[in-house]
Amino acid sequence: MATIRLGDVAPNFTAKSTEGTINFHEWLGDSWGILFSHPADYTPVCTTELGTVAKYKPEFDKRNVKVVALSVDGVESHHGWINDINETQNTTVNFPIIADEDKKVSELYDMIHPNASDKFTVRSVFVIGDDKKVKLIITYPASTGRNFEELLRVIDSLQLTAYHKVATPANWKHGEDVVVSPAISTADAKNIFTKGVDEIKPYLRMTPQPNLK
Ligand code: BEZ
């Protein structure tokens, strides 16, 4: 297992899932992607997480992001658990769950942290760009469910900063002012960002989010 770092091409794999066999890169196609692991089927926090992701699917679709979950349980177990998720979370699971029984994908993506648990995957998240490169890695322990609002927020930032010469400040949310990339002079920034540039310090220049009407 090689360490996966930001900017690396997301390792490809073929794996069984609740929606058939997936070749990861083919499945991604031209979309962005989220690959996220959970410790085990039929566990309470994971049940709420997968139900939440199902409800957020329209938000991921809007951003051209495909979502795939993973645990080391089998396809039959996943299907049985999906019934429980749908029932208890009042939703319909609408994305594949990988059945990584042989731990091939978990090991490829370093999702098993033996000093936390040698049997189960931790709560890993990999956001992958439409160039198949890894844009974000986050890791939560089994005891803490993830904040999927934060995941949407960070995808908004990743997609904005991929296409515009800006960065997003602390706690930024879609629609708020952004930071001009340090690589651009203020003179150039004033030509590029026609909505205005506020030079607070030579290294701290703010501008309205450029991709809003
Ligand atoms: C859960 O999903 O609820 C969970 C899984 C493993 C350990 C602790 C909680």
pLDDT at 1: 62
Q: 153 and 173 in contact (C-beta within 8 Å)?
A: yes
Q: What is the per-residue pLDDT for 39?
A: 98
Range(s) of the domain holding residue 175? 164-207
CB-count burial class (<10 Å; 0-12, 13-18, 19+) for 33: buried
CB atoms within 10 A of CB 119: 10
Q: Enumerate the active-site residues.
A: 46
Q: What is the CATH number of the domain that holds 55?
A: 3.40.30.10
Whether residue 169 sits in one domain with residue 125 = no
Question: 146 C-alpha to center of ligand 1: Å?
Answer: 12
Residue 9 lies in a domain: no
Q: Are residues 36 and 83 in the same domain?
A: yes
Q: Could you give the CA distance from residue 135 to residue 90 in angstroms, rounded to a whole number?
A: 31
42 and 127 housed in the same domain: yes
| Ligand 1 atom at minimum distance from 145 CA | 2
CA distance 15 to 23: 7
In the structure encoding, which two tokens stand for residue 83, read together?
């019934």
Determine the atom of ligand 1 nearest the C-alpha atom of 40.
Answer: 5
Per the structure, how many domains does the chain have? 2
In a shared domain, residues 67 and 168: no
Q: What is the pLDDT of residue 115?
A: 97
Residues 90 and 32 in one domain: yes
Residue 200 CA to ligand 1 center (angstroms) comes to 46
Is residue 202 in a domain?
yes
DSSP secondary structure code for residue 144 in this structure: S
Q: Is the CB of 143 under 6 A from ligand 1?
A: yes
pLDDT values of the chain reduced to their tens digit, one per residue, 213 residues: 679 999 999 999 999 999 999 999 999 999 999 999 999 999 999 999 999 999 999 999 999 999 999 999 999 999 999 999 999 999 999 999 999 999 999 999 999 999 999 999 999 999 999 999 999 999 999 999 999 999 999 999 999 999 999 999 999 999 999 999 999 999 999 999 999 999 999 999 999 999 997
Which one, of 98, 141, 108, lies nearest residue 122 by Cα?
141
Q: Please tell me whether residues 29 and 132 are part of one structural domain.
A: yes
Q: How far is the CA of 36 from the centre of ligand 1 (A)?
A: 15
109 domain-assigned: yes
Give the Cα separation of 68 and 74 in Å (integer): 15
Question: Is 91 part of any domain?
Answer: yes
Residue 144 CB less than 6 A away from ligand 1: no
Residue 142 Cβ < 6 Å to ligand 1: yes
Q: Which of 168, 119, 126 is nearest to 146 (CA)?
A: 126
Residue 197 in domain:
yes
